[in-house]
Chains A and B, each alone.
Chain A
Amino acid sequence: SQQGEEDPQALSIQEGENATMNCSYKTSINNLQWYRQNSGRGLVHLILIRSNEREKHSGRLRVTLDTSKKSSSLLITASRAADTASYFCATDSRGSNYKLTFGKGTLLTVNP
């Protein structure tokens, strides 16, 4: 079943703007991860945030986690055309036996 639900389903912005994508989930989690998928390719791991963390940064990426609202956001600052891709959140929970549950993704288009 799909635990994570990304919002919006599609986002189109201009190069240089910031892009914010959201993810909501239903059950308690241990970790939440964000992945990127370029068209027709495999997924690439971007960043992981643990349930006891509230914010994490990696380069131009900023992830926040609000466990009380069961939601996370991914912010990409100063976007580039190369950031055009689908972005997925994935969660794992206690006893999930190393399985991840992925959302349906947000398709980000960065226009040059």
Chain B
Amino acid sequence: SQTIHQWPATLVQPVGSPLSLECTVEGTSNPNLYWYRQAAGRGLQLLFYSVGIGQISSEVPQNLSASRPQDRQFILSSKKLLLSDSGFYLCAWGTPIRSSYEQYFGPGTRLTVT
């Protein structure tokens, strides 16, 4: 069965510090991978998605970046965090083989920028 991992679960970082959030998927090959951000009490904002290794599409211009160094690994980074980067970050995967577009989410990372 497929499993998706995210770490860390929570993170408190000062403004201006770097960020690296990691997401890995097990049990599937060549998944589409997604990073979302969720502000408190709000819906999900798609940040990045990837359809293959090294292929990253950015949905929202900002000081975040994403990379996919391996088929089932997706990393969200920042060189210098802003207060506005605080939020709940969710990684998700979906299979391009199926036409139903279902996505499967990780447990999330709660980021607080102080």
Q: A92 CA to B103 CA in the complex, in Å?
A: 11
Query: For the complex, what is the distance from the CA of A41 to the CA of B108, rounded to whole Å?
Result: 6
Q: What class of interface size applies to chain A in its complex with B?
A: 20 to 34
Chain A residue numbers with a CB within 8 Å of B94 are 98
Q: How far is the CB of B12 from chain A (nearest CB, A)?
A: 15
Question: 1/0 per residue B28-67: CB within 8 Å of A?
Answer: 0000101010000111101001010000010100000000
9 nearest CB pairs, A to B: A42-B105, A104-B43, A102-B44, A92-B101, A43-B105, A102-B43, A42-B107, A98-B32, A42-B108
11 contacts between A and B (CB under 8 A): A33-B101, A40-B108, A42-B105, A43-B92, A45-B103, A97-B51, A98-B49, A99-B34, A99-B46, A99-B49, A102-B43
Q: A43-B90, A98-B96, A102-B43 are in contact. List 19 more A-B contacts (CB 8 A).
A: A4-B43, A42-B90, A42-B105, A42-B107, A43-B92, A50-B100, A88-B43, A90-B103, A92-B101, A97-B49, A97-B57, A98-B32, A100-B103, A102-B36, A103-B43, A104-B43, A105-B42, A105-B43, A107-B41
